[in-house]
Amino acid sequence: MKKAASLPAVLLIATAALALPLSGNAGQAPGAAAATPFVRTITQVRGDVYKVQSGPGIGAVTAFLVTSEGIVLLDPINNEFAAWLKAELATRFPGKPVRFVVQTHYHWDHARGGGVFAATAKFIGHASMPGKFTAKIRDARPPGDTNDIDGDDRLDRQEAQTGTRVQFDTMDANHDGFLTQSEMLADVRSPEITFADRYTITLGGKRVELIHAGGRHTSDLVDVYFPGERVLFAQDYVWPKRLCCNFAFDRMPMSTWINSLKNLERLDFDTFIGSHWEGGSRADFIAVRQYLEDLEAAVAAGIRAGQTLEDMKKSIRLEKHKDWIGYDQLPGFIESAYTSLTQYPAR
């Protein structure tokens, strides 16, 4: 029997708890609510690929593929979520344990909780991921705008920003009022299988392609392609019809972002899953890349013309994207692009 066929398209689990936005991004996302009703959903995307949402809005999204020999799971998100998901999978797909967990990057809002699947799964990630566990916070920063400003390699409440501040007490295991890298990554599994550019998981006659598309957002970022279903899981932050990104594009050259999306466009997919917000079609994906190119071009032209940042905030309109979510925050994204272009130019 094909188990997928018996699954309801959407499984809703609602509790009285509140879901707080777990991730800052090059992202406190436009439209992110401070607190929204907690909902977990498993949704069939196509064939045996499902997406799982840990909460509405910016709550993290992960995905899995069901095969005859077990399940390939992407990010485990956190311990509580992983325990819930493990029970759901056991009920829905009995006798099909999670055989692989793909750690798409080291950020705590995606990577925690893998231990729940350690008895049956192998863990895979990019070759630069293991080094994040011992890196200084300044060199492997949490998501969002958090930074170790005073250089003591721990975060106080003022240094912790966005989602890291929201989750401060949850992650401060010894309650000393500081977060260390090891506290933030406490239940993140270091991958036992690593790769540099591409890695193919084969299980039950199906393939899952792991792709390092240039390291936008974090140097170890992995996107995941399901060729049999023509579905792409695009990690942080590919948001259809939603303006992005804050924090000087995670202090990276904008070209790193644009080139990574161009690399992914070479894949034969027609739908994609996003890691925080809704996914979309191939056309939506391409429109995100075009928006980034439009923003980069407009700001670069302003710099060449000798405009000040304030001039650009007033004059750059990107009318093509005026219907996108977050358009009212365009001046902030212009500033982010300006900082990326002037302080983090393409190498």
Min. distance of Cβ 21 from Zn ion in angstroms? 13
Question: Is residue 296 a contact residue for Zn ion (CB under 5 A)?
Answer: no
- For Zn ion, the binding residues in 236-265 under the rule CB under 5 A are 236
Cβ closest to Zn ion, residue 159 vs residue 236? 236
- For Zn ion, the binding residues in 65-124 under the rule CB under 5 A are 107
Min. distance of Cβ 156 from Zn ion in angstroms? 22
Min. distance of Cβ 72 from Zn ion in angstroms? 20
Question: Is residue 159 a contact residue for Zn ion (CB under 5 A)?
Answer: no
Cβ(44)–Cβ(73) under 8 Å?
no
Min. distance of Cβ 157 from Zn ion in angstroms? 21
Question: Is residue 143 a contact residue for Zn ion (CB under 5 A)?
Answer: yes
Cβ closest to Zn ion, residue 26 vs residue 337? 26
* Count, residues near Zn ion per rule CB under 5 A: 3
Cβ closest to Zn ion, residue 93 vs residue 249? 249
Cβ closest to Zn ion, residue 58 vs residue 71? 58
Cβ closest to Zn ion, residue 43 vs residue 162? 162
- Give the nearest residue (CB) to Zn ion: 107
Min. distance of Cβ 303 from Zn ion in angstroms? 28
Residues lying near Zn ion in the complex (CB under 5 A) are found at 107, 143, 236
